[in-house]
Amino acid sequence: MTLAKRLTSLLAASWAALACSSAWAAPAATATGTYTTATGGTGGPLPNQLDLQPAATQIASEIHTLHNWMMIVCLVIFVAVFGVMFYSILKHRKSVGHKAATFHESTAVEIAWTVVPFLIVIGMALPATRTVVGMKDTSNADITIKATGMQWKWGYDYLKGEGEGISFISNLSTPRAQIGAPGVPATEQRGENYLMEVDNEVVVPVNKKIRIVTTATDVIHAWMIPAFGVKQDAIPGFVRDAWFKSEHTGTFRGNCAELCGKEHAFMPIVVRVVTDAEYTAWVNTKKAEMAALADDPNKTWTIDELKTKGEKVYAANCAVCHQANGKGVPNAFAPLDGSAIVNGGKGDQIHVLLNGQKTGKYPAEMPAWKQLSDTDIAAVITYTRNNWSNKPAENIVQPAEIVAARK
């Protein structure tokens, strides 16, 4: 029974060590994990980086504390269990004259190794549950933004709060010359934010609760910003939500965290957190830009005007799948060069652009592009009908036709 008493004492001592360690685990995490000027947080990954990204929100800070606390718990358990095992093997081996104990059971030991693990689990579960509940509380948000994942870009719509009505598409802005292609080496040196930069950043004010509503148009994506402690799946046909409240201004970077196809690595997320005054100025500027870009749908465009505009729309939204040469990707994405839909009646192509299409011939379905303006849809259809080898009878589409098709 002496061994049983020793084991009981050791288990009790381990629990005491765990309880004491939590007292210094939390401040240690706060000191090293918080996004501050002193720590030099960048809001994104760094070469050869160790540990989690510096936290920019209270939730992320709590996640860091939990991470460190759980690691300490696991370390203490590891040292205690293996310490007892190796001590027993070395000090009680037969070669030094020890004999195996003859006792069969010990009520004290049975109670100890049932109660102590239970207390450890409770000690881990309580703070974790509090943080998880806090992560799910999206009520009373100051601003609500819908993030729509699509292969391979993000669409953003400001639904509620200051900036309501703003919408835009966010594409990877890293030049293809830095990336290269299969069998084709890159021709430019990689930039500082390689594959972590976009043409349109999400802009939000500091110290305001931002609710992110996620969905997708094609496959499952995931909206993730590590510095905010946010990772939420974007699922076609479903609406999920998350939130963050950045305590620091700056630029924060993340990416799609759900394998979503061949361009999965090219779906970065960039959020710029600014002061209230800077945010108001951005909202005014953005709305003025949107108003300037809002073309009169009743205007009659020339075919050359539509082709010029359509080429830009195609390069930004379509070329990644259908390729710049319109040949598509064999067994993955349909070609537009010689396509029956592109060379057929324009009504069918308008329907596909507005509602999407899934023929079953290719693993990836064609998503709907209703978020594009009437002029952009008319322009890109006109461009595809007058490019490569395509020569349809109906070779021009006007914005007014898109307006009518939406009804």
Q: Please, which residues have CB within 8 angstroms of residue 390's CB and are 6 or more apart in sequence? A: 326, 336, 337, 338, 339, 342, 343, 384
CA dist 28 to 17, 53, 69, 311, Å?
17, 15, 10, 54
pLDDT value at position 63? 96
Going by C-alpha positions, the residue among 337, 370, 364 that lies closest to residue 352 is 370
What are the residue ranges of CATH 2.60.40.420 in the chain?
A: 38-44+52-89+109-178+196-293
Q: Which residue has the higher pLDDT, 77 or 103?
A: 77
pLDDT value at position 113? 86
Q: Please, which residues have CB within 8 angstroms of residue 295's CB and are 6 or more apart in sequence? A: 373, 374, 375, 399
Number of Cα atoms under 13 Å in the Cβ half of residue 105? 3
Q: Per-residue pLDDT for 2 more than 80?
A: no
CATH class of 303-406: mainly alpha
pLDDT value at position 103? 74
CB 368 within 8 A of CB 356: yes
Query: What's the burial of 297, exposed, middle or buried (CB within 10 Å: 0-12/13-18/19+)?
Result: middle
**Rounded average pLDDT over 206-218:** 96
- Prediction pTM value: 0.73
Distance separating alpha carbons of residues 150 and 148, to the nearest angstrom: 7
Q: Kindly state the tokens that stand for 140.
A: 């009373």
Q: Per-residue pLDDT for 22 more than 50?
A: no
Number of other residues whose CB lies within 10 A of the CB of residue 399? 22
pLDDT value at position 331? 86
Distance separating alpha carbons of residues 307 and 317, to the nearest angstrom: 15
Least confident of 49-63, 263-277, 353-367: 353-367
Q: Kindly state the tokens that stand for 365.
A: 């379905």
Considering the chain, what is the average pLDDT of its residues? 87
38-44+52-89+109-178+196-293, CATH topology level: Immunoglobulin-like (2.60.40)
Question: Which range in 26-40, 238-252, 326-340 is most confidently predicted, on average pLDDT?
Answer: 238-252
Query: By percentage, how much of the chain surpasses pLDDT 70?
Result: 90
Per-residue pLDDT tens digits for 252-281: 999 999 999 989 999 999 999 999 999 999
What are the residue ranges of CATH 1.10.760.10 in the chain?
A: 303-406
Q: Per-residue pLDDT for 225 more than 90?
A: yes
pLDDT class of 104 with cuts at 50, 70, 90: confident
CB 258 within 8 A of CB 222: yes
Least confident of 54-68, 108-122, 355-369: 355-369
